[in-house]
Amino acid sequence: MILRREVTVGTDPKTAFAYLSDFTTTTEWDPGTIETTRISGDGGVGTLYHNRTQFGGRETELTYEVIERRESMIRLRGENKTVVAVDTITVESSGKGSRVIYEADFTFKGIWKLVEPFLRPAFRKLGDEAETGLRETLGRLGPSN
């Protein structure tokens, strides 16, 4: 299952990417995130994060690793016993601000593969809330210079 959201904000791309590539900021823009802490690394490839999320009335934990990072894109892979999540955040210049593309690709394991179709509406809602969170939070970072 893939969730993809795009937002355009007045924040310059460099500021937006610096903010979003620090995955600990998910607590500010991702409504399901309870806590994200950096376990090790400097934010580059190999950096590990511990993420606690509330979804569907239950709390779950994932360990994310930065698996790719370029000037305006970061990709992280998170995993626990029920799911593998690959999150990609790309920031592009758009007019006087930025266009942010957030994509989360979920691959369920075991019995959760059978339940996936029933989870789609909840994941769509989560994606919609994350889109709103991204727009509002990045908007508070300030306009382009």
Using an 8 Å Cβ cutoff, are 66 and 45 in contact? yes
- To 5 degrees, how large is the angle CA 30–CA 26–CA 100? 75
**Residue of 68, 58, 38, 59 lying closest to 50 (CA atoms):** 38
Arithmetic mean of pLDDT over the chain: 88
For residue range 27-49, what is the model confidence (pLDDT) as tens digits? 999 888 999 999 999 999 999 99
List the CATH number of the domain containing 74.
3.30.530.20
Split into its structural domains, the chain has a count of 1
Domain housing 58: 2-140
> Does residue 112 surpass a pLDDT of 90?
no
Residue 42 included in any domain: yes
